[in-house]
Amino acid sequence: MDSPTDNFDSLLDKLEEVRAVFVLSKRSMPFLEEFFGFVRDVAPLIEEIDQAIRQSSGEMPQAKSQLESVSQATELATTEILDLVDAVLEDVRAIEQRQQRAAERAAERSALDERLMARLREALDADARGTDALSDADCAALLADAETLHAERDALGEDDTEADVPDEAFAEIRQKMNRIMLSLQVQDITSQQIAGVNHLIESVRTRLTELTHRFTTGGRAPAPAPPATKDEPLTFDANARYDHEADRQQMADSLIASFGSEAAEAPSADTRADDAHTDDARASDAPTDDGPTGDGHAGGQAPDVSPEETESKAESGAASPVSQDDIDALFQ
Amino acid sequence: MRFLVVDDSPTMRRIVCNALKEIGYSDMSEAGDGAEALSALNDQPADFLITDWNMPNMNGLELTKAVRGHDQFGEMPILMITTRGMKEDVVAAMQARVNNYVVKPFTPDVLREKIDMILQTA
């Protein structure tokens, strides 16, 4: 049976343990406070990094898609050019063969002429020697030879036009060369697509660099300066396409044509439109006041969108395609 | 007819000039951006402006507005040749008062058609 002294000693031991726990807590409290403060400071940063990584990861498929588009465009254009080069070489070969045949026939005619001249020369030489070579029989033979040679020459034909290259052949070659020139526009288009990818990569890199810097310095040191080109206006069209589909040109033509027909229907609005455009050109930031009409368009003016809005939308790529006929109509 | 061809791509300027020659025009000069084009117009006026959109220093839209606001050559024909093929792009170009609009890639026939249309209405 435990004595009261043993129980008291046990109690004192337990109290000592509790006291040790409190001492430990007291010593570890500053560390815990610092740790909690660190977590509190870092949590938003981690969330930002997570968001940036998600956003960047989302942009990578777009960059990948654009690079694939570049590859496809260059392959398409290269194939077109090679096909056209083959066709032009074929045309040139046909012309060369035509000219070679003409040259051969001309050579044959020339040879026959030479034989006739030689025969005549022979006859004249005999006559000059006074050998009485030009008897009636000789003359008859000479005439027969001349007729034979003449007949052979006639068979070859006198048509030298085979050496001439028909205008259609030149037109064909010219057309193919123009199509090669069309295909070479791929250089401009793909350079803009690649510039779009570069811009995307640079923006991701800048974003991650800034976040990494803040993470490592805790925001205590100033962030690295952004690239000098960050705020420059874009000089590329990331949505540039190389294809032979006529939809975009048709869209432009339709818009232009419909704009022109609206101008014709409301001539009184043209002056107002010209004034508005002139003012718009001179005060580049001034919005255009199109005024209310039944269909939202002031006669002679483009659809009711401010220049800044349209340019902003055009820059951001938020857009809707319109038929070419509409664009054509606007400019008629 | 004197053309001023404006594009920041030397390749495209060459293609446009070749296409102009192909359709019968021989008098042309070039500029690499809108600012250079304005300077060229002040030095030696042109009769017809063909411009790209996306260019450094001054893009084609800004160049068009600047030309339209000029007392001396504000009414010159302007044809925009660009990769931009969205409705908002065409609308913005019309608001800036381009005379017509060509989407790249283009053919000499399309170029001829648009130039003829502009000259007929001029």
Model confidence at A275, pLDDT cuts 50, 70, 90, reads: very low
Q: Following DSSP, what letter does each residue of chain B receive, concatenated?
A: -EEEEE-S-HHHHHHHHHHHHHTT--EEEEESSHHHHHHHHHHS--SEEEE-S--SSS-HHHHHHHHHT-TTTTTS-EEEEES--SHHHHHHHHHTT-SEEEESS--HHHHHHHHHHHHHH-
pLDDT in tens, A259-270: 766 655 544 444
Quick check: B105 and A242 CB within 8 A?
yes
Q: What is the pTM of this model?
A: 0.67
Chain B residues touching residue A332 (CB < 8 angstroms): 117, 121
B114 vs chain A: nearest CA distance in angstroms?
Answer: 9
Give, as one character, the DSSP assignment of residue A163.
G
Residue A278 clears pLDDT 80, i.e. is over it = no
Residue A320 clears pLDDT 80, i.e. is over it = no
**A158-172: average pLDDT:** 75
B15 vs chain A: nearest CA distance in angstroms?
Answer: 7
Which pLDDT score is estimated for A242? 86
Answer with the residue of higher pLDDT: A42 or A328: A42
Residue A222 clears pLDDT 80, i.e. is over it = no
Which pLDDT score is estimated for A296? 32
**A140-164: average pLDDT:** 76
**A195-210: average pLDDT:** 86
In a mutational test of the B interface, the residue from A185, A186, A193, A234 whose CB has the highest number of chain B CBs within 10 Å is: A185
Distance CA A276, CA A167 (A): 52
Which pLDDT score is estimated for A267? 47
Tokens 């399309």 found at: B110
CB B4 within 8 A of CB B31: yes
Quick check: A331 and B53 CB within 8 A?
no
pLDDT in tens, A60-72: 788 888 899 899 9
- Residues 6 or more apart from A172 whose CB is under 8 A from it? A91
Token pair recorded at residue A305? 């969108």
Model confidence at A329, pLDDT cuts 50, 70, 90, reads: low
Q: What strands lie across the sheet with B27-31, from one edge to the other?
A: B27-31, B2-6, B48-51, B78-82, B100-103
Quick check: B91 and A301 CB within 8 A?
no
Q: Is A256 on the interface with B (CB under 8 A)?
A: yes
Token pair recorded at residue B9? 């791509």
| Number of neighbouring beta carbons within 10 Å of residue B90 | 35
A94 vs chain B: nearest CA distance in angstroms?
Answer: 24
Q: Following DSSP, what letter does each residue of A11-43 receive, concatenated?
A: HHHHHHHHHHHHHHHHHHHHHHHHHHHHHHHHH
Residue A30 clears pLDDT 80, i.e. is over it = yes
pLDDT in tens, A168-194: 888 899 889 988 988 999 999 999 999
Which pLDDT score is estimated for A264? 53
B73 vs chain A: nearest CA distance in angstroms?
Answer: 13
B91 vs chain A: nearest CA distance in angstroms?
Answer: 6
Q: Is B104 on the interface with A (CB under 8 A)?
A: yes
**Which stretch of A59-68, A321-330, B40-49 has the lowest confidence by average pLDDT?**
A321-330
**A40-52: average pLDDT:** 80
Which pLDDT score is estimated for A279? 41
Average pLDDT score over chain A? 75
A208 vs chain B: nearest CA distance in angstroms?
Answer: 27
pLDDT in tens, A88-124: 999 999 989 988 988 888 888 888 888 888 888 887 7
Tell me which H or E stretch contains A160. Answer: none
Token pair recorded at residue B14? 């060459």
Q: Is A90 on the interface with B (CB under 8 A)?
A: no
The shortest CB-CB distance from A280 to any of B9, B87, B95 is to B95
Q: Is A153 on the interface with B (CB under 8 A)?
A: no
Answer with the residue of higher pLDDT: A138 or A308: A138
| Residue A175 burial class via C-beta count within 10 angstroms: exposed 0-12, middle 13-18, buried 19 and up | middle
Which pLDDT score is estimated for B122? 72
**A35-63: average pLDDT:** 81
Which pLDDT score is estimated for A109? 85
ipTM, interface predicted TM-score of the complex:
0.87
Quick check: A249 and B69 CB within 8 A?
no
Model confidence at A274, pLDDT cuts 50, 70, 90, reads: very low
The shortest CB-CB distance from A278 to any of B15, B69, B94 is to B69
Establish, for the pair of chains A and B, how many residue pairs have beta carbons separated by less than 8 Å: 157
Model confidence at A214, pLDDT cuts 50, 70, 90, reads: confident
Chain B residues touching residue A301 (CB < 8 angstroms): 95
The shortest CB-CB distance from A303 to any of B12, B91, B104 is to B91
Token pair recorded at residue A215? 């993470």
Distance CA A16, CA A68 (A): 73
Measure Cα distances from A196 to A27, A181, A321, B18 in Å. Answer: 57, 24, 20, 28
Quick check: B95 and A288 CB within 8 A?
yes
